[in-house]
Amino acid sequence: MTTECTSIRGRSAGLLVIFVLALQIAGCGQKAEDGPILLKFPHVTAPATPKGQTADRFKQLVEERLQGRVVVEVYPSGQLMDDDDSLDALAFGEVQMIAISLSKLDRLTHKFQIFDLPFLFPDLITVERFQASADGKVLLEAMEDKGLRGLTYWHNGMKQMGAPVPLRTPADAAGLKFRIMESDVLQAQVLQIGGSPQKMALGEVYQALQTGAIDAQENTWSNMYSSKFYEVQKYMTETNHGYLGYLVTVNTSFWDSLPEDIRVELESILREVTEWGNERSETINLEDRQKIVESGISEVVTLTPDELRQWQEAMKPVWTEFEGNIGSSLISAALAARQ
Ligand code: LMR
């Protein structure tokens, strides 16, 4: 990325302007003759999480197989920037690859709202079947008009809920302030159970729980363990009510400007590490669940079938609310992946 390319960036610019400008910087990508191609890859979770491990594996394989031609710098734990900033940075070529939660793409497109519909996907196998279907693959291109391309999906896992009280039925959530990711579907989900939704970056959640600025949150076992939420949440209820996964995203013009042999090799390595990481994600989450149990600090609450049904019923109106945005045919395609 040249100075000229970065100088057009303006933090105060509106989102639309930012992404229109991003479209206009086609060709600003690094050329092979400039030396090794640098892929800066920031993300917000710890190195031990599914995303952290997969990003590190990607770096390792790229540097083994494209030695001297491509360098990958992975910045975990939000140490370079948070997710919101990473979208702008990607558009402007300040970073070259991100793996952002699908929920957080809500500000750019409603297409990924399908992944936030509560209780639509019962498990990761179903999610994977949908992502591998023609409908799932088309979604990778949902942000081409914003100058961004999805290369593949990475899993974290299914989400659970943490709170200061045992959440057995939706009535227990009434009045609780819930941290959510920046997603309107998740906002509607919390409203359906009588809670107060608070959109907040991951890096702010621990302190907000500790100080009582928020009461509750939803996340995967892996994120709740690695971000130490179990230290400040008395109860964690195993709801498996939603999916948390990522879109590995690049700036389309940068990606298309790479020498073809390098791009083909990078895409091949990505396919390999996606399979590797997605296979491990469930195990990592189960191990982290067990570590939370063993901590003795936070109690894991499991639901009876009747209690689980009450959560499903309470959240179901969210589907109708967002059907117009998402499209009933996409919801049907996701439902078809259940068999
Ligand atoms: C969150 O903000 O809770 C997640 O998006 C973090 C992540 O990347 O898994």
CATH number where 281 lies = 3.40.190.170
Ligand 1 centre and the CA of 218: distance in Å?
10
Ligand 1 centre and the CA of 87: distance in Å?
14
Ligand 1 neighbourhood includes 143 CB (under 6 angstroms): no
Looking at the DSSP bridge assignments, the partners of residue 37 are 70
CB atoms under 10 Å from CB of 132, counted, come to 12
Return the H-helix or E-strand segment holding 15: helix 15-24
Residue bearing the CA closest to ligand 1, atom 1? 202
Residue bearing the CA closest to ligand 1, atom 2? 202
Ligand 1 centre and the CA of 225: distance in Å?
12
AA identity, residue 219 = N
DSSP codes of every residue in 128-177: HHHHHSHHHHHGGGTTGGGTEEEEEEEEEEEEEEEESS---SGGGGTT-E
Give the Cα separation of 28 and 257 in Å (integer): 8
Ligand 1 neighbourhood includes 113 CB (under 6 angstroms): no
Q: Mean pLDDT across the stretch 246-274?
A: 98
Closest CA to 323 of 116, 142, 114, 104: 114
Residue that is written with structure tokens 């997710």 in the block: 83
**Is the distance from CB of 238 to CB of 303 less than 8 angstroms?**
yes
3-state SS track over 39-83? EEEECCCCCCCHHHHHHHHHHHHHHHHCCCCEEEEEECCCCCCCH
- Show the tokens assigned to 88: 């702008």
Give the Cα separation of 54 and 281 in Å (integer): 9
Pairing of strands 148-163, 243-251: antiparallel
Ligand 1 neighbourhood includes 224 CB (under 6 angstroms): no
Ligand 1 neighbourhood includes 219 CB (under 6 angstroms): yes
Q: Give the distance from CA 232 to its chain's centroid.
A: 23
pLDDT value at 174 more than 80: yes
Ligand 1 centre and the CA of 34: distance in Å?
34
Q: What is the DSSP letter of 202?
A: G
Return the H-helix or E-strand segment holding 251: strand 243-251
Ligand 1 centre and the CA of 3: distance in Å?
31
Q: Mean pLDDT across the stretch 169-186?
A: 98
Ligand 1 centre and the CA of 44: distance in Å?
7
| Closest approach atom of ligand 1 to CA 43 | 8
Q: Using alpha carbons only, give the angle 319, 324, 330 rounded to the nearest 5 degrees.
A: 70
Q: What is the DSSP letter of 2?
A: -
AA identity, residue 146 = K
Pairing of strands 70-75, 177-180: unpaired
Distances in Å between the alpha carbon of 117 and those of 16, 120, 135, 286, 335? 26, 6, 16, 23, 11
* 337, burial (CB in 10 Å: exposed 0-12, middle 13-18, buried 19+): buried
pLDDT score for 19: 53
Choose which residue among 87, 223, 248 to substitute to test ligand 1 binding: the one with the highest number of ligand atoms within 8 A of its C-beta.
Answer: 223
What is the domain extent for residue 55? 3-336
Give the Cα separation of 69 and 78 in Å (integer): 26
pLDDT value at 15 more than 80: no
Q: Which band of pLDDT confidence, cut at 50, 70 and 90, is reported for residue 56?
A: very high
pLDDT value at 198 more than 70: yes
Ligand 1 neighbourhood includes 202 CB (under 6 angstroms): yes
Residue bearing the CA closest to ligand 1, atom 3? 202
Q: Which band of pLDDT confidence, cut at 50, 70 and 90, is reported for residue 332?
A: very high
pLDDT score for 339: 77
Q: Which band of pLDDT confidence, cut at 50, 70 and 90, is reported for residue 21?
A: low
pTM of the model: 0.92
Ligand 1 neighbourhood includes 101 CB (under 6 angstroms): yes
| Closest approach atom of ligand 1 to CA 219 | 3
Residue that is written with structure tokens 């570590």 in the block: 291
Q: Mean pLDDT across the stretch 183-198?
A: 98
Start-to-end Cα distance in the chain: 46
Q: How many domains are contained in the chain?
A: 1
| Closest approach atom of ligand 1 to CA 223 | 9
Ligand 1 centre and the CA of 1: distance in Å?
28
| Closest approach atom of ligand 1 to CA 100 | 8
Ligand 1 centre and the CA of 67: distance in Å?
31
pLDDT in tens, 281-292: 999 999 999 999
Looking at the DSSP bridge assignments, the partners of residue 245 are 155
